[in-house]
Structure 1
Amino acid sequence: MDIKQLRSFVHIAELGSLSRAAERLNLSQPALSRQLNLLEETLETKLLDRTGRGVKLTEAGQMLAERARVILADLARLEADLTARSSKVTGHVHVGVPPSAGIVITGALIERLRAHFPDLNISVAEDLTGDVQEGLLSGRLDIGILHDGMISRSLHAEPLWREDLFLISHPTQVGEQETEIAYEDVLSLPLIMPTNRHGLRAKMEEAAFRAGRPLTPVVEADALRVLVDLVHRNVGHTVLPRSSLVMELSTGRLKARRVVSPQLSRTVMLSWLHDRPLSAGGKAVVDTLRDLAGTMPMAEK
């Protein structure tokens, strides 16, 4: 039994599918199956039952998955502690951020890292929360910023800040004294929303379900700039945190009303793989993000 086999098995257990786990791990399915067979031979026990919908853990498989997560996390911490003994912060760190959080924090992050760690190289990829999570799980990204929701158990996730959600509208659609709007009234408006791949859409769907009302957007778009442009054109309304639209709101090009009854908010999370140790550079990025989170405008801890 080796570490590579354990890591592969944890991904299979989480996804319940050999094909999806192979895709995440960038392996062929036969190669992943060989790893699984070797692991079962070494342990002399069956770990998975194949079903029409994928694979299901046996009792032994459940035990191994739980213990493996602990073992891999301990090894990652050990490796991180040993690599952190180096005093000079160098290397290359790949960071993934969703667009709304990227607008708020990316510039400040790069500015501070360049000032304090000039030998550290940073790559920032802007993508939807689901794609950032997959980037972390596949090893393409070292550190990610996610929104709360269905976060993989293979990832460490800690809150950075909380942001309230607002209905974003064309100025002609908002009365001068209007600062709030009930969610039930939001659902009656022509909405421009992200697709179901986006965490914000899931939060909106959940609130609509609790209200006993359907969420039926007139336009779906996953790009932040498209959502904002369509609101500029008075096609409809969208829902976003104020912090991602500071310029548009300060100049009056758009108007924001806090969504209430219920009040909607989401938490921005800092995340990385449990079983992949942070390098000294990764720790520098994580510590910097934690420091910056305490200074976020229009966001709550």
Structure 2
Amino acid sequence: MPLVREHLWAVAPPDAGLRPDRPVPFARVAAHPLVMPTAGHALRSLIDAAAARAEVKLDVAVQTNSMRVQKRLVPAGHGWTILPDVGIAEDVAGGTLSAAPLSEPDVWRSIVLGMPRTGRTPPAVEVVARELTRQVRTAVHEGSWPAAQLHAQGAATEGE
């Protein structure tokens, strides 16, 4: 069940001057060395597909599947990265990173809740799923996850 979708963001050192109100073309991001997840990681697959659509080659300087490590390597001068806003909002607000939504093409990720389609779902699983869904919707409605958009239940999004 799709829950939310959100833009992926270009993330750079503070002196790069990226701003949330000024989307950054993918080609500009690709002009920098990049700190990226390894091939096969869901974010990397989205990023690689966007690079193909933008017809740019990525210069991957470092690969790590740890968002925390990615966020440390960027201000240390190892390159830029691409991450969801929810993972960098505090860093941008604190001035340790600068960031802007990707554009040309826009890059979105979806967060879904997987539930068994057959058989009986245990009541405890149903309770956790309802609470998780409620928490996600509350975070979006209250603005604590500002870059996320709620999915219409069961709707699929093109390009994801």
TM-score between the two structures when normalised by the length of structure 2: 0.82
SS where residue 47 of structure 2 aligns? helix
Aligned partners of 2:119 and 2:91: how far apart in 1? 39
Aligned partners of 1:229 and 1:159: how far apart in 2? 31
Aligned partners of 1:292 and 1:177: how far apart in 2? 25
Stretches of structure 2 lacking an aligned partner (at least 5 in a row): 140-144, 151-160
1:272 maps to: 115
Matched, 1:290 2:139: no
CA contact (8 A) 1:167 1:240 kept: yes
The CA deviation at 1:221 is 0.6
RMSD in angstroms over aligned alpha carbons? 1.8
2:149 maps to: 300
- Counterparts in 2 of 1:178 and 1:258: CA distance versus 1, 3 Å: same
1:206 to 45, 49, 68: 49
Q: How many residues align?
A: 144
1:216 to 42, 59, 74: 59
- Counterparts in 2 of 1:191 and 1:276: CA distance versus 1, 3 Å: farther
Aligned partners of 2:82 and 2:34: how far apart in 1? 8
TM-score between the two structures when normalised by the length of structure 1: 0.45
The CA deviation at 1:195 is 0.5
Q: Which has the higher helix share?
A: 1
Matched, 1:197 2:46: no
Aligned partners of 2:95 and 2:22: how far apart in 1? 14
The CA deviation at 1:246 is 2.5
Q: Deviations over 1:219-278 (max 9, x none)?
A: 111111111110131211111111112321111111111111111111101013334532
1:250 to 86, 93, 98: 93
Taking only the aligned residue pairs, the percentage that are identical comes to 27
Highest Rg: 1 or 2? Answer: 1
SS where residue 209 of structure 1 aligns? helix
CA contact (8 A) 2:20 2:99 kept: no
Aligned partners of 2:87 and 2:20: how far apart in 1? 22
Aligned partners of 2:6 and 2:19: how far apart in 1? 24
SS where residue 111 of structure 2 aligns? strand
Aligned partners of 2:64 and 2:20: how far apart in 1? 30
Aligned partners of 2:46 and 2:103: how far apart in 1? 14
* Residues 168-179 of structure 1 mapped to structure 2, 5 A cutoff: 168-174=11-17, 179=22
Aligned partners of 2:90 and 2:20: how far apart in 1? 20
Q: Judge which range, 221-230 or 288-297, deviates more.
A: 288-297
Larger relative contact order, structure 1 or 2 (CA cutoff 8 Å, min sep 6): 2
* Residues 77-92 of structure 1 mapped to structure 2, 5 A cutoff: none
- Counterparts in 2 of 1:175 and 1:192: CA distance versus 1, 3 Å: closer
CA contact (8 A) 1:179 1:256 kept: no
The CA deviation at 1:178 is 7.2
